[in-house]
Structure 1
Amino acid sequence: MSSLLVRDVMSTGVVTVAPDLGYKQIVDLLIEFGVSAAPVVDDHRRVLGVVSEADLLHKVEFNGADVHARLFERRRLRLAKEKASGETAAALMTAPAVTVKATATLTEAAQLMEHRNVKRLPVVDDDGNLVGIVSRRDLLRRYLRTDDAIRGDVIESVLRGIMWIDPIEVDVTVVDGHVTLTGRIDRRSSAQIAVRLIRGLDGVVGVTDDALAWGFDDTTTRLSHTFDA
């Protein structure tokens, strides 16, 4: 059953910066390559942090102001002022970086982005070395699969491969990623399992099974025991 991983959708041509790169050089680099952030890596391509436009804007925000943090200031404001006085990527970056393994699923990457409130993730291998970067836009690529490819997955991977259901018994149509199932399956539980599996396929936007019937509703079966007094 097809399941895209981060390595399948990530960008490998990553713009990176060295820890000692200066503020002006970082700004020029982001503008030149049209990116809003870049991983900060050491000589072994281990990710130390990420420097973004937001990190760089702190210097503009506090330009001309006293950047010395005060004890009663909130932590976020103190960090912002500290970054405003920074001159290199090491001082400006957000660290530690939120990274994702190349072997992670797109769902795992999306959940990580949502939980940590980031728009992109540096992708690392098992040794923690940078191998790519994945953005929110990259995660949407799972929905770019053709209807024919999705239909093939439904029939071969789910119905025939996992459920052992003869495709002749169930008609599958796919339009713009939406799967419609019609026909008859022996048990209601089998129909429910098939629908859940299909919803998890890459490219599937939704599943309609209103016209899918079953011969036996085994989800309401109750075992009763009679005991003699």
Structure 2
Amino acid sequence: MEHRTIGELMTRRVVSVQLDTPFKDIAQILADNAVSAVPVLDSIGRPAGIVSEADLLRKAADRSDLSGRTPLPHLEAWERERSEGRSAGELMSAPAVCAHPEWTVVEAARLMEVQNVKRLPVVDETDALLGIVSRSDLLRVFLRKDKAIKEEISREVIGRTARLGAAGVTADVVQGQVVLHGSVDDPLLIPVLVRMCASVDGVVSVSEDLKPAMASGSVGGSGAAS
């Protein structure tokens, strides 16, 4: 089965800033381009970090008011140092957590979850910036049409396992939800089919109503379905 890669889903025209880009310029770039974060590039074009609206707002939130109260007394030392930053290199979240263009949606989604980030710069083998992929980009695989999902399952899952005993299996797909019907020669094939279907791009869930082939027909060969 072929999966859409991060290289296919990423945004290629990336707005970025340099390490020495001033605070106000970053705010203007975010506003002008209607984005919530941008990669921060080093002198040779490699992502050094990400600077976001949240990083900029930390400065406003940490300012003392006229009474001398500090709104965020709980900040760790490193967070307070970043809140006092004046340039992208001082304000950014670093190091940059990056993806590669050949990665699958699953690989990128897992990295986002583990690192608790909303977007990943996409880099080549030299760490040069190629694009950026966001959570919304990854969700585009779920916009795939039910007909396309069903065709791939019929071809790549059922078709490839037919000789193993899945020739009697059919699939229904509604709103990305797959239901497998029919019979299999070996019950051990059922979890294999479910896992294979779940790995198809655009699938939301998989359930099955599969029976062993011997149980699907009546004893004595009358052909009546059980």
Query: Which of the five TM-score ranges fits, normalised by the shorter chain?
Result: 0.7 to 0.9
The separation in 2 between residues aligned to 1:126 and 1:37, in whole angstroms, is 24
The one-letter code matched in structure 2 to 1:26 is I
The equivalent position to 1:215 in structure 2, one of 197, 213, 216, is: 213
- For the residue of structure 2 that corresponds to 1:139, the secondary structure is helix
Structure 2: give runs of 5+ residues left out of the alignment.
Answer: 66-72, 216-226
Deviation, structure 1 residue 204? 0.9
The alignment status of 1:191 with 2:212, answered yes or no, reads: no
Post-superposition Cα deviations, 1:122-161, rounded to whole Å, max 9, x if no partner, equal 1111211111111111111111111111111111111112
Deviation, structure 1 residue 215? 2.6
- For the residue of structure 2 that corresponds to 1:173, the secondary structure is strand
Distance 1:153 1:87, change over 3 A: same
The separation in 2 between residues aligned to 1:190 and 1:176, in whole angstroms, is 25
Corresponding pairs, count: 208
Deviation, structure 1 residue 169? 2.2
TM-score by length of 1: 0.83
Q: Percent identity?
A: 40
The alignment status of 1:160 with 2:159, answered yes or no, reads: yes
Deviation, structure 1 residue 168? 5.9
Deviation, structure 1 residue 200? 1.1
- For the residue of structure 2 that corresponds to 1:131, the secondary structure is strand
Deviation, structure 1 residue 216? 5.9
Deviation, structure 1 residue 192? 2.2
TM-score by length of 2: 0.84
Q: Name whichever of 77-86 and 198-207 sits farther off.
A: 77-86
* Aligned match of 2:46: 46
Deviation, structure 1 residue 84? 2.8
* Aligned match of 1:26: 26
The one-letter code matched in structure 1 to 2:211 is A
Post-superposition Cα deviations, 1:5-54, rounded to whole Å, max 9, x if no partner, equal 21121111211001111111000000111111110012432011111112
Distance 1:167 1:186, change over 3 A: closer
Q: Is the 8 A contact 2:159 2:167 kept in 1?
A: no
The separation in 2 between residues aligned to 1:21 and 1:184, in whole angstroms, is 63
The one-letter code matched in structure 1 to 2:204 is V
Distance 1:62 1:178, change over 3 A: closer
- Aligned CA RMSD, in angstroms, stands at 2.1
Q: Is the 8 A contact 2:99 2:123 kept in 1?
A: yes
Distance 1:62 1:190, change over 3 A: closer
